[in-house]
A and B are shown apart, each in its own frame.
Chain A
Amino acid sequence: MVVLVLKDLVDIVGEDFVSERPEELYLYSKDMTENFPETPDIVVMPETTEEVQKIVLFANKNKIPITPYVAGSNVGGLAIPYGKGILMDLKRMKKVIEINKKDMYIVIEPGFTFGHLRKLLDEELIEFQYSFPFAPPFSSVLVNAILQGLGNLSHKYGSMSESLNGIEVVLPNGKIARAGTCAISPYWYSRTPLPDLLGLFVGWQGTTGIATKGSICLWPKPPIITHCVVFATDPADVYNRFIFKLCRSGICQEIGGGLLNMFMSKGLLPMEELKNLIEMMGFVPRFEGLYFVNLLTLYGNTEEEVKAKYKFLVKMVNEINDQDGAQLVLLKPEDYGEMGQKMMTPMDLPIQIPGLLNRGGLTWVGSYVPLSKWLEGCIKGIEIHKKYDKIPGVLHRPMKSGHYGVLRFLIPFDKSNEKEIEEIRAMVKELAEMILDIGGVIYKMPPWVAPKIMERADPGFVSLLKKIKKTLDPNGILNPHHLGFD
């Protein structure tokens, strides 16, 4: 079969962009996580929507699974080809189709990365910004939005999918469809006022269609930005006393960080210096070796506006420390010399994550939780880490002004140690169950967690998902065995 497929795919994209060589297939068989590897039968790299369409038509006719892929940096095994068959690498589709400054959007292809976007914003779109994830520069902007990821502006603008105005997809039957205003108008400016068909594709992990274009919002870049850090020894001080007030104050465009340890923060934050500062003050962390680092960005149109916000923040922190006996430490990195410069590292996105990857493996259990449940989830998660003798790293980000929040456990591990990988598999399952128990939902759900979520889901919801999947993809060719109901 592979020989036949090879010839057909070569006819579509040319021989340079199809491979069945084992050493190349191997590269697509796994990611940095603990998820089980699987090797595709063949890899193809289309360059145009028409080529994607032809490949999908061919695959659907022959009932060959397709796994869409760009960077494989999702930290959830989402692009591991569990159906084998064709792995469709969309890296070559990296064009910017349209830049519309007046209506504040760009239309891009799936291979357009955060590195490309950084360059575009810095060189041509300096009056705009976009929400950047804590991810390497080769990650796909469009995929991140479709997978409902998060970024540094998520406190203000919500999940990345909320920045999507519209998409063009190749459906499993080979037809091309658009959703959003681009289905009616030449302008890709909004997903309303129409039935929101993006919901058929956003959050579906490429199981209902392959996105070939998407429009993302550009956000106005405030002329004045000031970074601040609020450092704490106890996450309860942050979550019981500070974060809700801060979210509702509306003074920040970015809020994020978490309970971090020295090992994970290497190269990212000056944890040694911050630790020294805290020890100098005589403060003792509630969880040994863990410090809560909260990065904030104040923004405004004038220096006076930002200064007023800073004063408001100072007053808020002082009152919380005075009245509630909390130990919050407010720093402005620009005042702190070398240490301050190092504090800015995680704010310069996209970013490589050397400290996290220096043992070869990295996984996470990431979730969106009611913000009111974050602290409970954090503390229970720390207990689970203790049980497995792992040092926790717990990230937080209040989303959309605090309507919900990110609770994410980051877990580096030795990718060459099978025993440790087995432990990690058990631990992440326990963490996922805990999150579901407190009312959270796992985002970018890895294949192993999808059945757990479906078990708990409303039966009507699951039935509807199945009907949609069956209607759009009757042969089940798109990214099979990922969402837990196929």
Chain B
Amino acid sequence: MSEKLKLGSIEWAKEFANRCNTNEDFLEYAEGLNTSFNLNAPDAGISFHWRSNNGRAEDLDEGLNEDAEFTLEGTKDVWIRVIKGELNFMDAVQKKLIIVKGPLPKLMKYLPATTEMIKIIESMSDITDFNI
């Protein structure tokens, strides 16, 4: 892919979903992870949501899904630092730079899947246009 995708655009989100759906390690760790996510950067007006079907990202769309079980929320700058690998996602959560809303014990069980998903987000760095 030569053309870069604007951070948070629907094309960017679809590529993220595609990478999740083709990552065998992630899908293996996420087996049984049936839930729904919002990813949100409110200061930049970026948000999209998807449904996790055993880890497979389905029904991806722009905007927030009010019924989503989990919301991952941070400022645009924080997300950029995470994607660029400058800020560890778990450090960001510890420092409350990223807020994870939802029934956390359920996610705890899927920590290996969560960390793999973060690696996928980080892998988006090479195709992301950060000038938004």
Interface residue ranges, A against B (CB under 8 Å): 273, 276-277, 280-283, 307, 310-311, 314, 318, 321-322, 329-332, 335-340
In the complex, the answer to whether B88 meets A314 with C-beta atoms within 8 Å is no
Asked whether B90 is an interface residue with its Cβ less than 8 Å from the other chain, the reply is: yes
In the complex, the answer to whether A314 meets B112 with C-beta atoms within 8 Å is yes
In the complex, the answer to whether A332 meets B112 with C-beta atoms within 8 Å is yes
A416-B25 Cα distance, complex, nearest whole Å: 55
A202 to chain B, nearest CB (A): 42
Asked whether B111 is an interface residue with its Cβ less than 8 Å from the other chain, the reply is: yes
**Selected A-B contacts with CB under 8 Å, 29 pairs:** A273-B94, A276-B94, A280-B104, A281-B104, A283-B105, A283-B108, A307-B25, A310-B112, A311-B28, A311-B29, A314-B112, A318-B32, A318-B109, A322-B32, A322-B109, A331-B111, A332-B115, A335-B118, A335-B119, A336-B91, A336-B115, A337-B87, A337-B90, A338-B88, A338-B94, A339-B90, A339-B94, A340-B88, A340-B90
Q: Given A281-B104, A281-B108, A307-B25, 18 more contacts at CB 8 Å?
A: A273-B94, A276-B94, A277-B94, A281-B105, A282-B104, A282-B105, A283-B105, A314-B29, A321-B109, A322-B32, A335-B88, A335-B90, A335-B115, A335-B119, A336-B91, A337-B87, A337-B88, A338-B88
A466-B4 Cα distance, complex, nearest whole Å: 81
Chain A residue nearest to B113 in the complex (CB): A314
Name B55-110 residues within 8 Å CB distance of A.
87-91, 94, 104-105, 108-109
Name B3-33 residues within 8 Å CB distance of A.
25, 28-29, 32
A306 to chain B, nearest CB (A): 12
Q: Which of A273, A330, A339, A340 is close to B112, meaning CB atoms less than 8 Å apart?
A: A330
- Residues of A contacting B89 with CB < 8 Å? 337
Q: Which of A276, A280, A332, A337 is close to B91, meaning CB atoms less than 8 Å apart?
A: A337
Q: Which of B90, B91, B111, B115 is close to A329, meaning CB atoms less than 8 Å apart?
A: B111
- Residues of B contacting A276 with CB < 8 Å? 94
A339-B92 Cα distance, complex, nearest whole Å: 11
B35 to chain A, nearest CB (A): 15
A310-B25 Cα distance, complex, nearest whole Å: 11
A202-B68 Cα distance, complex, nearest whole Å: 63
Please count how many residues in chain B sit with their CB below 8 Å of the partner chain's CB atoms.
19
A30-B25 Cα distance, complex, nearest whole Å: 55
Chain B residue nearest to A283 in the complex (CB): B105
- Residues of A contacting B87 with CB < 8 Å? 337
The 9 closest A-B pairs by CB, nearest first: A337-B88, A337-B91, A335-B115, A336-B90, A281-B108, A314-B112, A281-B104, A281-B105, A338-B91
- Residues of A contacting B29 with CB < 8 Å? 311, 314
A440-B109 Cα distance, complex, nearest whole Å: 35
B92 to chain A, nearest CB (A): 8
Chain B residue nearest to A321 in the complex (CB): B109
- Residues of A contacting B90 with CB < 8 Å? 335-337, 339-340
A314-B32 Cα distance, complex, nearest whole Å: 13
- Residues of A contacting B105 with CB < 8 Å? 281-283
B103 to chain A, nearest CB (A): 8
- Residues of B contacting A335 with CB < 8 Å? 88, 90, 115, 118-119
Q: Which of B32, B109, B119 has the most CB of A within 10 A?
A: B109
B78 to chain A, nearest CB (A): 13
With A318-B32, A331-B111: A339-B104 Cβ-Cβ less than 8 Å = no
- Residues of B contacting A337 with CB < 8 Å? 87-91
Chain A residue nearest to B100 in the complex (CB): A280
- Residues of A contacting B25 with CB < 8 Å? 307, 311
A322-B88 Cα distance, complex, nearest whole Å: 29
A419 to chain B, nearest CB (A): 41
- Residues of A contacting B111 with CB < 8 Å? 329-331
Chain A residue nearest to B107 in the complex (CB): A281
- Residues of A contacting B94 with CB < 8 Å? 273, 276-277, 338-339
A237-B115 Cα distance, complex, nearest whole Å: 24
Chain B residue nearest to A318 in the complex (CB): B109
A322-B108 Cα distance, complex, nearest whole Å: 12
Chain B residue nearest to A282 in the complex (CB): B105
A479-B115 Cα distance, complex, nearest whole Å: 55
A113-B112 Cα distance, complex, nearest whole Å: 39
In the complex, the answer to whether A339 meets B115 with C-beta atoms within 8 Å is no
A83-B74 Cα distance, complex, nearest whole Å: 68
A123 to chain B, nearest CB (A): 32
With A282-B105, A329-B108: A339-B32 Cβ-Cβ less than 8 Å = no
B34 to chain A, nearest CB (A): 13
A336 to chain B, nearest CB (A): 5
- Residues of B contacting A318 with CB < 8 Å? 32, 109
- Residues of A contacting B119 with CB < 8 Å? 335
Chain A residue nearest to B90 in the complex (CB): A336
With A276-B94, A281-B105, A283-B105: A336-B28 Cβ-Cβ less than 8 Å = no
With A280-B104, A282-B105, A332-B115: A339-B91 Cβ-Cβ less than 8 Å = yes
- Residues of B contacting A310 with CB < 8 Å? 112
A336-B95 Cα distance, complex, nearest whole Å: 12
- Residues of B contacting A277 with CB < 8 Å? 94
B23 to chain A, nearest CB (A): 13
A324 to chain B, nearest CB (A): 13
A329-B109 Cα distance, complex, nearest whole Å: 7
- Residues of B contacting A332 with CB < 8 Å? 112, 115
A321-B32 Cα distance, complex, nearest whole Å: 13
A28 to chain B, nearest CB (A): 46
A277-B25 Cα distance, complex, nearest whole Å: 24
